[in-house]
Amino acid sequence: MRETPRSQGTAGDTGAGHPQHRFGRAFAHTTGAFGSGTPHRSDGRPPQTPRGVRHTGPYGRPGTTPPVPGRPAFFSFFSRPGWRFWIPFALCAAVFALVTWQVSADGPLRSADERVGQALAGQGPRPMTELLADLGSMLVAVPVLALAIGYGLWRGQRARPLMAALAMAAVPLLVVPLKIWIDRQGPLTDATGYYPSGHTATAMVAYGAAALLLAPRGRTWAMPAAVLLTLATGIGLVLRGYHWPLDVLGSLALCGMPLLALERALRAAGSRDLSRSTRRSSSRTPTG
């Protein structure tokens, strides 16, 4: 703070005195009146948002005066990281259980499903629907996942590509016993074993696992592309008359569970790799 100049009456004095404080706007940033310890505005009005009276929200979030209400406890509870896995997982399990029960027990959903499937079978241009259905074949979907696994191995990864390969290997272990147990007849054939759809399961896990391997590398297009390819496969299967709609829906719900588990495992593996690289880099940093 600049010293206050002496008045004209003392300008000729030879004795040097201590600088005197002036009361007024020069006290704009000093403590409040009478040593209150709170800052005051230079015009004498109280501050609009005093620092000492600032409150925080319910979960430690900064608020204002009066405090702004934070997120309700109900939504904060379900936004925890664990629930981001368990809620979709439970939803997939519930949909799969409902569809499987209706198909196996010849319920009303199965009757409606067969009416819709018969109306949709044969619709659309045959070359296009055949191409969409073939997106779920082992000869198309699995090589895409193999390329993603090879890319991960080339990047020096080990655990992540192995997890994706195990998820793909789990598809026949999940689908084939259900096909034998449900023994559902196909739309345009007398053959059985059509629930759940194996082509849909192959497409969902192969494209989804490949997208999960590529997504951490900044490829944000990978997961939307996997979703579109999987939905296109299901649409092609229904329009070609290869599967009933519930065959596709049940397969989507079934394979959503291992894909969610794969996503969580890949996230945990990525966190471990990051912590290892951080420790490695910190150990290499010179201390002197």
pLDDT at 275: 52
pLDDT of residue 46: 55
* Nearest by Cα to 198 from 184, 213, 211, 188: 184
Output the pLDDT for position 59.
Answer: 46
pTM exceeding the 0.75 threshold for the entire prediction: no
Per-residue pLDDT of the chain (288 residues; tens, 9 = 90+): 444 555 444 444 444 555 555 554 444 444 444 444 555 555 555 555 555 455 555 445 555 445 555 555 544 544 555 677 889 999 999 999 999 999 999 999 999 999 999 999 999 999 999 999 999 999 999 999 999 999 999 988 888 999 999 999 999 999 999 999 999 999 988 899 999 999 999 999 999 999 999 887 667 889 999 999 999 999 999 999 999 999 999 999 999 999 999 999 988 876 665 555 455 555 555 554
Closest to 150 in 3D by CA, of 253, 35, 142: 142
Predicted confidence at residue 164, as pLDDT, reads: 95
Which pLDDT score, from 0 to 100, does residue 9 have? 46
Q: What is the pLDDT of residue 220?
A: 82
- Tell me what pLDDT residue 85 has: 81
Query: Which neighbouring-strand residues pair with 56?
Result: 62
Residue of 151, 117, 122, 80 lying closest to 248 (CA atoms): 117
- Residue 83 confidence (pLDDT): 75
Q: Which of 150-186 are b and which e, b meaning 16 or more Cβ less than 10 Å from the residue's Cβ?
A: eebeeeebeebbebbeebbebbeebbeebbeebebeb
Report the pLDDT value the prediction gives residue 30, as an integer from 0 to 100: 46
Query: Looking at residue 28, what is its pLDDT?
Result: 46
Backbone angles phi, psi at 140, to 5 degrees: -105, -50
What are 60's two structure tokens? Answer: 């430690």
Confidence (pLDDT) at 48: 59
Amino acid at 252: L
Spatial neighbors of 144 by CB under 8 A, at least 6 apart, are 206, 207, 210
Query: Using an 8 Å Cβ cutoff, are 175 and 254 in contact?
Result: yes
230: nearest Cα among 252, 198, 246, 213: 252
Output the pLDDT for position 105.
Answer: 94
Question: What pLDDT shows up at residue 78?
Answer: 45
Predicted pLDDT at 87: 92
pLDDT at 255 (0 to 100) = 96
Task: Give a three-class secondary structure readout of the chain.
Answer: CCCCCCCHHHCCCCCCCCCCCCCCHHHCCCECHHHCCCECCCCCCCCCCCHHHCCECCCCCECCCCCCCCCCHHHHHHCCHHHHHHHHHHHHHHHHHHHHHHHHCCCHHHHHHHHHHHHHCCCCCHHHHHHHHHCCCHHHHHHHHHHHHHHHHHCCCCHHHHHHHHHHHHHHHHHHHHHHHHCCECCCCCCECCCCCHHHHHHHHHHHHHHHHHHHHCCCCHHHHHHHHHHHHHHHHHHCCCCCHHHHHHHHHHHHHHHHHHHHHHHHHHHHHHHHHHHHHHHHCCCC
